[in-house]
Amino acid sequence: MTGTSEIWTGEAVSYDRARPTPPPILLDILTQLIDTPNPDLVVDLGCGTGLSTMLWGERARRVLGIEPNADMRAQAIRKLEQGQQKAAIEFRDGVANQTGLADNSADIVTCSQSFHWMEPTSTLAEIARILRPGGIFVVYDYEWPPALNWQLEKVYQEVDERFDKLAEERRLDQNLQRWSKEQHLERMRASGHFRFTNELLLHHSEQGDAARFIEMVLTNTYGHQFKLKTITEEEVGFEQLRQAAQQYIGDKVIPWHFSYKIRLGVK
C-alpha cells in the first residue's frame, strides 16, 4: 500500500467531501455476528480521511484508524479535533501489514474501499494476528457509480470505457499496484485464517448534486492520471460527463443509492 498511497496526496479535502459514508447498519450486523454490542477495539485499515472510522465513535470503546498517506490522515485528525469523540478515536501513520498492535487485541478489523491496495497475504496474516479469537474482519466496497440517473450513468460508462482502454494501452496500471476486488472473499478463504467467511449485500442512500458527482469521479484514478497528463480529459471526453451531470442533475440535490459488497471472516 505504501507504493500507491501518494496518489491521494492533495486530494484529502475533496475525497472527504465527495465520497460516501458507510451504511450505519453495517455496525449492527458486525456486532451482532460476534455478540459484542460495544467492541473494546475496532481497527480501520487504510482509513483515509476517517469516513469509515468516525462511524464507530459512539459504538466502540476505542477506535484506531491506520493510514499511510499524510494528507488523508491530517484531514481525519482535523475532523476529529472538531468533533466530540476524541477519547474513543485515534489516527496513526502505518500500513496494514505492519500495525504494531498486540496479538489478539482487536474485536473488529475493517477495510473500507481500501483492501485492493494492500498486499493480501501479509495483510491477512497481520489481521489474523491482531484479531482476538471470535473477532471479525470485514472488507467492504461500493459499486461505482451510485444509482442516480440512467442517462448520466450511460455517459459515465462511455467515458469510463475510453479511460480504461487508454490506461491498458499505456500500461498505466503497472505504476499502481492493486488487487482485484472480485477475489477478496476467495483470498480470505484461501488464507486459512478464518473459520467462517461470507458475502453480504447492503444499500445506502446519500444525496448530492452535479458538482459532487464530478468531484467524486475525480477522486478516482481519473484525477490522478489527469494531473500527470498520462491521460487527458479531452481524450476520454470528460467534458461530456460534466455537461451530462449538469443536464440531468444540475444544482438540484437528489438521492444517490450506493450498493455495497461486504466480505467478512470470523477468526
DSSP string covering 20-75, please?
A: PPPPTHHHHHHHHHTT-SS-S-EEEET-TTTTTTGGGTTTSS-EEEE-S-HHHHHH
Q: What pLDDT, on the 0 to 100 scale, is given for residue 87?
A: 67
For residue 50 the three cell numbers come to 476517517
User: Looking at the DSSP assignment, which residues form a beta bridge with residue 263?
Assistant: 139, 199
Q: What pLDDT, on the 0 to 100 scale, is given for residue 178?
A: 87
Q: Cis ω on the peptide bond leading into residue 146 (within 30° of 0)?
A: no
Q: Could you tell me the pTM of the whole model? A: 0.94
Q: What pLDDT, on the 0 to 100 scale, is given for residue 220?
A: 86
Indicate the domain borders of the chain.
1-142+179-207+255-267, 147-177+210-251
- Domain range 1-142+179-207+255-267, CATH architecture: 3-Layer(aba) Sandwich (3.40)
Regions in the chain scoring below 50 on pLDDT: 1-3
Q: What pLDDT, on the 0 to 100 scale, is given for residue 2?
A: 36
Q: How far apart are CA 24 and CA 49, in angstroms?
A: 17
Q: What pLDDT, on the 0 to 100 scale, is given for residue 223?
A: 87
Q: What pLDDT, on the 0 to 100 scale, is given for residue 33?
A: 98
